[in-house]
Amino acid sequence: MLDSIVVILLSLGVVFFMGTVNGLLRFPDFYTRMHAAGKGDTLSSILILLGLALFTFHHPSVAAYLTGFKIIFIAVLVFIASPTATHALMDAGYEAGIEPWAGESDDNGEECR
């Protein structure tokens, strides 16, 4: 039972990571790419870390629970830090005057306005 939850969490995390990579490579401009990186990266990291934290419950002992607690703590840190870093990068890009994408893209990913 525990194993299946762990596997589901881990594979969901991998799926979201794939979406992140796809978005990072395929989206047309800086802002949309950062959007994919910020959202997908955070969610998939947290899913994978939660899966790993649950996995420590296999061997019920204080040391194992401590490891699980540390992993949860890392997840909280990622949850705060990753979106903030994305926001800071976006803000810096806006300050530097990067134009947001405003057109449609064809199949080759090239812009045609």
- Chain residues binding other proteins by CB under 8 A are 77, 80-81, 84, 87-88, 91, 95
Q: How many residues does the chain have?
A: 113
- Minimum distance from residue 88 beta carbon to other proteins (Å): 6
Nearer to other proteins, 21 or 64 (CB): 64
Nearer to other proteins, 91 or 99 (CB): 91
Phi and psi based region of residue 97 (left: phi greater than 0; alpha: psi -120 to 50; beta: remaining): left
- Minimum distance from residue 39 beta carbon to other proteins (Å): 15
Q: Which residues lie closer than 8 Å to 48 by C-beta, 6 or more apart?
A: 9, 10, 13, 14, 17
Neighbours of 40 (CB within 10 A): 20
- Minimum distance from residue 24 beta carbon to other proteins (Å): 22
